[in-house]
Structure 1
Amino acid sequence: MTTLLKSATIIDASSPYHKQTKDILITDGIITKIDNSIQPKENYQVVELDNLHVSTGWFDTSVSFGEPGYEERETLKHGVQVAAKSGFTDVAINPNTYPIVDNKSAVEFLINKVNGAATSIHPIGALTQQSKGVEMSEMYDMQQSGAIAFGDYNKPVSNDNLLKIALLYAQNFDGLVLSFPKNNLIAGEGVANEGKNSTLLGLKGIPALAEEIQIARDLFLLEYTGGKLHIPTISTAKSVQLIKDAKEKGLDVTCSVAVHNLFLTDDELHDFDANKKVNPPLRTENDRKALIQGLKEGVIDIITSDHNPIDIEHKKVEYSTAKDGTIGLESAFGALNTVLDIETIVKCLSDNPRKRFGVDSVIIEENEKATLSIFNPNGEYTFSEENIISTSKNSVFLDKKLDGKVYGIYNNSQLILNL
């Protein structure tokens, strides 16, 4: 199959065609020609779309699908279709299934279930057995089967010594350890950011300190052990500063931020909408601005949708008892495009996550594999349930004004468009 992308503006800082508008010819998954104008032949699949832009394929490093165990939330097969139509060529799958992904068989099940799909999946193995935080999982075996990192999704490692041993052990095979930044004893039964809004609304608060003290501990351990540490979904201004200081010390640490923490604050909670109950919680405007600045300065390396589908039975309930989580794949680009420039978005959705998680880097150049996200950065719209492709509909972005349209992807010799 030969595919021709007409008049595509290329966004790839590593490519000699960066910011140039070109025709791109793809044959059997390989970019065979990039030129000002390429004449289509009869058998070509021609893509001509308004204000067409392409970048290296976006990679979301924190995606939850329900299967196995919670198929009513999302199946793997449908989930990768959602990811493809949302512009993601690669997704890292969290281990929060039933059973937990804490052994090589579970990793292999995920990979084999959607082998050959347009969007490639990369399992994250649980750091501890059944994500209980008591005993370390079979990390080496899981990596040999295809796991790209190890962490207990949205569960902190409360045992200091366990994290220390994990960081030491993972160095034997260059493994990446994830540590969720939350001290449960300080967070307590909190359900929202501790501050003015939680007080006004009568909601139990989660202090910023609960995140920051955990990050400080993790960084002390990393300084002692060495190794590679990734801190997912930070949410406070002080967290940005702590990681900035650690990087200046030369520690091998990276971090990510969820799209909703860049776009929304705890001012959103006045309607008690359980779709806005996320972990970590929506923070203050000061935190939001600090996170954006952290991205621009390169302190925060990666942006994730932190896509987490939750069934209606666990969301359409009282705010305090609802499960944490929001879907985010479909809204990720439109939300980011309102607060960041395109080059920063591509760097933090593609280049940086590929490098950190050991997934093949890509470049838009002739004779290279075509791994492309396809989009239009223009066009404001109000995000509604009609824009949701996911099985679950628990989006924090409902009724929000977003900017830009994702057309789809080209990856694994497949063109997937969302038109």
Structure 2
Amino acid sequence: MNILLKSAKIIDASSEFHLKKRDILIVNGKIEKIAGKIDAPNKTTKVIALKNLHVSVGWFDSGVCFGEPGYEERETIANGLLTAAKSGYTDVVLNPDTNPVPDSSSDIVFLKNASRGHATNLHPLGTLTAKAEGSDLAELFDMKNAGAIGFYDFKGPVENPNLLKIALQYAQNFDGLVYSFPLDKNIAGKGIVNEGHVSTKLGLKGIPAFAEEIQIARDLFVLEYTGGKLHIPNISTAGSVKLIAEAKKKGFDVSCSVAVHNLRFTDTVLEEYDSKYKVIPPLRTNNDIKALIKGVKDGTVDFVTTDHRPMNIETKAVEFDNSANGTIGLESAFGTLNQFFDLETTIRVVTYGRERYGLPSESLEEGSRACLTLFDPTTEYVFEESHIASASKNSMFLGNRLKGRALGIINNGQAVL
């Protein structure tokens, strides 16, 4: 398919066309020409001329869940990838939140095969331990060879520090990325929200900030001893930002992410006991949000993930204590981030990070593969259920005013608008 983008403003700090309006001609999946004015070469060329059209390198999300296999009622791989495409994402890292979990090479092959032919690329994570039970390492090397780009017991901390030590040492043999979720279960106990004034007022059991921070401190000590590549997903506290900043100054090979909702909401939204705000890690305080945003700006926080986790209504429409953790976030991510940061920072946040996973970086220049996201950064609207493409509708962003929206993607020779 040949595609011609008309009068698109390019947002790419590494490009000579940064902040300039240009026509972009795409032929057979590659960017053939970028110029002030390009005429369609033939009648079969698809011309895309949209109001306030902006274009960047394709967006990348380091953490989504779909459900398939095992939880197809939440989301299938096919609809999940279509949702990601409509939300502007050309590449997503798939969390091992399935039944069964992907802990072998055959499981990774299944996920890769199920994602073939879609505009959005799916990059699966395998579990760190067999059946994600935290006892024995899974088939890390075999999964890596099958296409796994990292190893993670989804939202499950590595409770045994010796197991983390062995994993980091072993994974160095094949440049594997090891995840460790930041939570000390013994300190968190049966907590379900941030421990503080709000949890006391509402009578809900809390998870103190240091339950996250003490686990990160332990993991960093292990990393200092072993070497290797460590990723800490979904940090949520100011103390966590400080610990990781100090580790990076020491030269540790550590990265981290924060979920979009942990940049937007504080635990004060819990006062109506609405289960759509129940997530792990929990929503924290305004001081934590300020530190996290600062960490994103200065590069301490490497990724802002949507932490997209569809959940069927039966798991959410119950008492707060008994409801499942998770919110969807793909559809609302850009419109939320674009409120916190200037446009160039927002685009950096949503495009950075492929290299950490050993994936090739993308560029917006003539001769490059066409991996592009189309978007309008200025339109403002109230996020409603009609904006949700996911099968599940459990979004804590419903009713919020957003700024900017994705218009679609061009990737793998396809255009999804």
What TM-score range do you get, normalising by the shorter chain? over 0.9
Superposed CA deviations along residues 103-141 of structure 1, whole A, max 9, x for unmatched, are: 000000000012111000000010011111100000000
Structure-2 residue corresponding to 1:166 = 167
Task: Name the residue aligned to 2:313.
Answer: 312
Determine helix, strand or coil for the equivalent of 1:125: coil
> How far apart, in 2, do the equivalents of 1:291 and 1:375 lie?
25
Give the C-alpha shift of residue 96 in structure 1: 1.5
Number of aligned positions between the proteins: 416
Deviations 1:351-381 (A, max 9, x none): 2x20111111000000000101110001111
Task: Quote the residue 2:276 is aligned against.
Answer: 275
| 1:343 counterpart SS class | helix
Whether 1:390 and 2:384 are equivalent positions in the alignment is no
Cα displacement string for residues 284-316 of structure 1 (whole angstroms, at most 9, x for unaligned residues): 000001100001111001110000011111000
| Inter-partner Cα distance in structure 1 for 2:373 and 2:200 | 43
* Structure-1 separation of matches of 2:218 and 2:322: 29
Is residue 2:290 matched to residue 1:289?
yes
**Unaligned residue ranges in structure 2 (runs of 5+):** none
**Cα deviation code 1:218-243 (max 9, x no counterpart):** 10000000000111110000100000
Alignment of 1:316-335 (within 5 A): 316-335=317-336
Name 1:93's counterpart in structure 2: 94
**5 Å matches for 1:111-260?**
111-260=112-261
Which letter does structure 2 place at the counterpart of 1:4? L
Which structure 1 segments of 5+ residues have no match? none
Distance in structure 2 (CA, Å) of the matches to 1:341 and 1:211? 30
Residue equivalent to 2:3:
3
- Over the aligned positions, Cα root-mean-square deviation in angstroms equals 0.8
Report the counterpart of residue 20 of structure 1 in structure 2.
Answer: 20
SS of the equivalent of 2:125 reads: strand
Q: In structure 2, how many angstroms separate the alpha carbons of the residues matched to 1:3 and 1:95?
A: 35
Give distance in 1, aligned partners of 2:305 and 2:411: 20
Q: Counterparts of 1:273 and 1:217 in 2: how far apart (Å)?
A: 34
Partner of 2:39: 39
Which residue pairs with 2:364 in the alignment?
A: 364
TM-score (norm 2): 0.99
1:306 aligned counterpart, secondary structure? coil
1:378 match: secondary structure: strand
Cα distance in 1, alignment partners of residues 104 and 186 from structure 2: 29
SS at match of 2:97: coil
Amino acid at match of 2:375: F
In 1, Cα distance between equivalents of 2:253 and 2:104: 26
Q: Deviations over 1:312-355 (max 9, x none)?
A: 1100011111110001111111111111122222222222x201
In structure 1, the residue matched to 2:414 is: 414
Output the CA distance in 2 between the equivalents of 1:258 and 1:388: 18
TM-score after normalising by structure 1? 0.98
**What is the letter of the counterpart of residue 345 of structure 1?**
T
SS across alignment from 2:108: helix
Q: Post-superposition shift, 1:97?
A: 0.6
Q: How big is each residue's C-alpha offset from its partner over 1:23-68, in whole Å with a ceiling of 9 and x where there is no partner?
A: 1100011000000111124221011111111111111111101100
- Cα offset, 1:267, TM superposition: 1.1
For residues 18 and 170 of structure 1, what CA distance do their matches in structure 2 show?
A: 39
Q: Calculate percent identity across the aligned residue pairs.
A: 57
Deviations for 1:370-397, whole angstroms, at most 9, x for unmatched residues?
Answer: 1011100011111111111100111011
Q: Distance in 1 between matches of 2:193 and 2:343?
A: 31
In 2: Cα distance, 1:402 partner to 1:355 partner: 30
In structure 2, C-alpha distance between the alignment counterparts of 1:160 and 1:348, rounded to whole Å: 31
What is the aligned partner in structure 1 of residue 74 from structure 2?
73
State the alpha-carbon separation in 2 of the partners of residues 221 and 10 from structure 1. 43
Distance in 1, matches of 2:93 and 2:348, equals 17
Cα distance in 2, alignment partners of residues 345 and 105 from structure 1 = 37
Query: Matches of 1:413 and 1:37 in 2, distance apart?
Result: 22
- 2: CA distance between counterparts of 1:291 and 1:176? 23
The one-letter amino acid paired with 1:256 is S
Equivalent-residue separation in structure 2 for 1:225 and 1:405 (angstroms): 43
SS across alignment from 1:218: helix
